[in-house]
Amino acid sequence: MSERLDTVSVVEAPEGVELSLRVAGPSARPLAFLIDFLVRAAIFSALSWMLLFGGVGQALYLLSIFTVEWFYPVLFELFWHGQTPGKRALGLAVVRDDGTPVGWSASVLRNFLRVVDFLPGLYGVGIVSAGASREFKRIGDHVAGTVVIHVGRSSSALELPDVPPLAPRVPLTQEEQAALLEFGARSRTWTKARAEELAGELEPLTEAVGSEGRQRVLGMARWIEGAR
Q: What is the dihedral of CA 74, 8, 97, 128, to 10 degrees?
A: -70
Bridge partners, 153 (sequence order):
none
Q: Could you read off the pLDDT tens digit of each residue along the chain, which spans 228 residues? A: 344 444 666 555 544 445 567 888 877 888 999 999 999 999 999 999 988 888 888 999 999 999 999 999 999 999 898 999 999 999 999 998 887 889 899 999 999 999 998 888 777 888 888 888 888 899 999 999 999 998 864 444 456 788 899 999 888 887 788 788 888 888 877 888 888 999 999 999 999 999 999 999 999 988 887 776
Q: Are 160 and 177 in contact (CB under 8 A)?
A: no
Q: Are 87 and 75 in contact (CB under 8 A)?
A: no
3-state helix, strand, coil in the chain (%, to 5): 55, 10, 35
**10 Å Cβ neighbour count for 132?**
9
Instruction: Tell me the C-alpha distance between 91 and 89, whole Å.
Output: 6
